[in-house]
Amino acid sequence: MQAREDGDGAATAVPRANSLKPAVAVAVFDAAQRLLLVKRRDSGYWAMPGGTMELTDSLEGCARREVREETGIEIAIAGMIGTYTDPAAIIAYSDGEVRREFSILLAATATSEHLAHDDESTDVQWVELAALARFPMVDAQTRRVQDVLAWRSKRVVFIR
């Protein structure tokens, strides 16, 4: 076990990562410049669509597949926003997997309109940028959304 300092300075036990799976997240915008978000069934938090790569996936193929599976939307990739590989950022699953973060965030535009969520989500919505604060997200997702907004205005690529 590792220890990590929480917000009040106390050390909390953190399990050691035993897995690393490349993943992609996608900031999808529609013609009205709204951001596509899914409400995750496992946490109840909102997030940009995405998931882990399969052995037969390219990065673009994974992005297209995950967005289609989670939202019903087809996309055109517009660029790369950033990479997220912080070894301290881990997710512990109930099956014992403790996955280290390794994610690439892409930007895309929607090329279809029909929204439909899958069994991993309870809702999918187009969100006005001014309304993003009303959609609860985990801290890592909030940081990524901030990177999306910065990328849109400055075309800066983040390596985190």
What three-state secondary structure class fits 34? coil
Confidence class for position 17, pLDDT limits 50, 70, 90: very high
Which residue from 120, 149, 122, 118 is spatially nearest to 133, judged by alpha carbons? 149
Q: What is the pLDDT of residues 64-84, one digit of tens each?
A: 999 999 999 999 999 999 999
Average pLDDT of the residues in 132-153: 96
Q: What is the pLDDT of residue 4?
A: 46
Average pLDDT, the chain: 91
Residue ranges of E strands in 57-129? 75-84, 90-92, 98-100, 103-110, 121-127
Q: What is the domain partition of the chain in residue ranges?
A: 16-155
Q: What is the pLDDT of residue 117?
A: 85
Q: What is the CATH number of domain 16-155?
A: 3.90.79.10
Q: What is the pLDDT of residue 55?
A: 95
